[in-house]
Structure 1
Amino acid sequence: MSDIIKFSKTLKLLYVEDHREARDAMLQVLNEFFDDITIAFDGEDGLDKFQSNKIDLIITDVNMPKMDGLLMVEKIRSTTTTNTKIPVIVLSAFNETDYFLQSIRIGVEGYLLKPIELAQFMNILNKVVSRLMLVEESRKNENILKQYKEITDKSSIVSIIGVDGKIKYANDAFYAMSEYTKEEVIGTPYNSIENYSGGKVVGETIFNTLLVQKEIWQGILQFTSKNGKVNYLKTTIKPITDKENSIVEFIVLRDNITEIMNPKKQLLDAIKNLKEPVVVYIKIEEFHTIEEFYDHETVEKIQDKTKKYLQDAIKGYCNISKVYKLGNGEYAMTSEKALCMPQKKAFISKLKEFQALTRNNKVNIGVVDYDISIIISVAFENDNIFQSAKLGINELLKSKQNFIIANDYARKEHDKAEKNMQTISMVKEAIDNNRIVSYYQAIIDNKTQKAVKYESLVRLIKDDGEVLSPYFFLDVAKRGKYYSQITDIVLINSFNALKYTDTDISINLSAIDIEKESTRVTIFNLLSQNSEKSHRVVFELLEDESVKNMQTMKEFIRDVKKFGVKIAIDDFGTGYSNFERLLDYQPDILKIDGSLVKNIVTDPYSLNVLETIITFAKKEKLQVIAEFVENEEIFNIINALGIDFSQGYYFAKPEPLESISK
């Protein structure tokens, strides 16, 4: 989903809907996928806005005043050849055959009934965006672009087959591709002309889908012309039914992708054509090191030689006929589960044996021999097994392992994506209804055991009154467009709190916040407006690896200190924090990471680290705050060590502003 959303946000969407409530509801979903949306209120308005804007995708209602959505699409399609390729998704409250047939005729990408189900919408959007991504990918290669342009400039390859199996209609593109004349085609049984090669399994799948399930079949088929020329055709076959749901004919639409078909697409269609596929996904181990060490030509040579080795080594096993080179040092193979693994343990054992043998082989790349080492992810259960197998490779890279069974990883990722979308929706609603608030946790002077500072902590209040900590929404918000709005709200809340207490207010800032110009403008505006209180502001910098521009960070620290602002480094002692970085930040305060503090009673290492930090801080005249002070035993130890301040549930939990007001 992250790849789909990332690409969809680059597209320009035309959304046509006359019903205000339906439009507002749908826009809440569309805004998560598209940054550039042109809204039209009926078919005429949609046609005008299409003609005056560069549009990549159309989503339209059907029944509208002035001009309905399908007529609008027909007019758009009729203007130029380019417009016939713009994807269209039709939304309708009516499940009528005429609308559906008309949608097929004008070439829409998807037809959804209202109310829209999110899963179905995401599935169609995935298909549409995948097609657009394929087009975009082809543009990166001038040679592929030329071939693709030559193909798309021509008409689609179309034929109609009657229930008697005879061809009733074919267009000129069909005759050109098949190398048969019109007289040879019309009235002839399709199986004597359309000599597809796909095997018994593919034939049974097509038969079952069309005649038994009466559903659309899609896949890639190999077509041999009259003169023996082999073409690969992306094929869609639709059984057309009457009111009694009896099949009256079949419409076959094809695109010749022989010249542009990429290995990933070939693999995906091969998987679709299998009853119960198994996918073996392979990646060259430490491939990023190869890319850093060798030039591009050598890297490609290593990948090509590795593919040949894998192809030769696996030949004949499991009825695997092809190894697909997917780029980035990745390869995949697929076959029928029944042929590969009548016994699961034996299949897994064979793959591990193959993996071990690979480590003992080399590929010659001219100057040197390269030792092959691979990691393997295999999936053979549940839906979307290609995605599961690919996600398994990602898991292996994270865990530093070399073999994984990745069944059901795609579903888990999908569930995670849906949960993220729900969280984003919850965040948006909270922002719109002023339910992003700040709670304040006391920071205690260890000598007086009185509150001398408060840390501002963001909270989200759900519509049922439940208060959520940032753990439940902030990371997701960072990947969306609402994080900066949350930061601005917290800043305004925190500066407002200065009016209600005489103590310091600490505010957390990340590298993302500081590097964003609009956030810096907000900060300096608030400092200027509250200049007489700015000396009570503490910025806690969440120092981590995400710092992209250290110069911006240094300039920010220098400029805020002119207002009397104090700088604290949060979570010091673990992660990315280090003593060298202190030279860049020049802080006034160190906040010791809670993971060290909470273990000092039982962990001598944590205690030793704390003593080292305290010794350094005293020499540099830095104040020290211990986080996660949860009980008296911890407090007594950190107090004895000479730490200045404590923060934790032993003294106070985060509370609303009214609870800390003077």
Structure 2
Amino acid sequence: MRDQFLLKQYINTLESTALCARLSPSGHIRWLSDSMHKLLDIHYLKQTTAFRDFLHPDNRQHVTEVISYAIESGNSWNGTVCLESNTRTNWCRCMTIPLYDEAGTLNELVLLFQDISREVHLDELLQEARYDRVTGLPTRVDLLNDLKRVKAQCLAVLDIRKFRSYADFYGLDFGDELLRKFSLWAQKQLKPNHINIYRLYSDKFALIPDFRMIPTLFESHLLHFYEALSDLKLQVRDVEANLDVAIGMGVGDSKHLQLAESALSKAKAIYSGHKIEVVREREFLKENRVNWIPKIQSAITDHRFVNYYQPIKSTSNERPSYYEALVRMRDNNSDLPPGMFLDKAKTTRYYCEITRSVIEQAVLASEEFGVAISVNLSIEDILNDKTVNFIQYVLMEHKKAQLIFEITETESTEDFEKVQTFAQEVRQLGGQIAIDDFGVGYSNFSRLISLRPDYLKIDGSIVQNVLYDETSASILNGMISICKELNIPIVAEFVENEEVNSYLCSQNIEYLQGYYIGKPSPEVNRLLN
């Protein structure tokens, strides 16, 4: 009697706290625990309610069959089921226990559940984070895990040049399809060389070997990949896309992604053909050990920010040539390029002081030598009231100065109304506007044209590829045609050799700039002579 009394208490405790169900041999619900009522959001049960009705349709048939098979074999069953109520879906671990009478006939089924919905949800989130929805490639999550697993000493980051031109011009769906086709091709190309590819974001991908490959071999495989890509034409709908990429490679024992990103920024800044930019950990740490803020502050105080001037040559006698001001920081016996300090300065109050210094020197040089000089402005400059007021003051006080303000295409669209207002104010005071790096965001063409720029500078990657890439040539020809109608002169950057120079002259491009035309110099009079 005592044992029966204790057993009854055990059963009552179990039934009141556990997720529990009792079914008839036919699978109809005889009883549910209070917790199970809440889980399924059931307030009333009919005697004919079948438990299988609460199983999710996607796995209802399978679960029913495996439970039936277990019962026929006289066994219990353990598995995962998805239960569906009127308000939500729950994932549960389930144990099915058959109970038999003395004759061995099935009398009842007891089902015990454990709610694992939260675990499944977290698992789904992890899966979503691990694999990119567009390309199906693993993402940064797997990349970081694989870096540790492989103990890799090298990593590359790849960026598709001019991808935005395709996505903006043909639409986002086209861009996604282009990324999918590129990803499939890249996987097949890289897999035989034991290199895995991951999508980081947008058109940026990471590549690492699946074992501890030596950096020289890894770089060699990347070069072969680059060369194969140059011959590839991806057919997306009725468009034949010829892709070019920039690749940066990081080598070291740690900070692989940071090293590769640093190398990529160099690769994107200077188009150098099929070349992999490499940054090694030792060099990176040495370069970044410098505390740039006090150096920048000191250079401002001592007036050590100096302008270099690069000629922009007119291809006809009808238009005068002009010069672009390029800032350098004088440090001992070296003049440091802006790539070393300008991004650091942008995060401080000193950045507007550097812009002011460049404009002051450009104004004086323009007045002294009677030439037009262009100055680069960032969106930070245009959004800075102090800088804009200074520009307006300079233009009013130095009416003989001929200043052209260059704004990059991508930055000009960040706050278009502000840029448009700035352009109007500058023109009223005698200044001019140039759109730089045009061709990066092709869909903004009509909007940019509404600025009525005085010059349009074509993105250097288009000029570099114009003799070899039909897409680049088509984009250039389209720009020439429209700009001729609108009477907007074109400036072609990155003119590095006679072949490109001759081709652009034959296309009646108004202005040319590049090392073939002339290198930057700190003295305008030297360039004039």
TM-score, length basis structure 2 = 0.49
Q: Whose Rg is larger?
A: 2
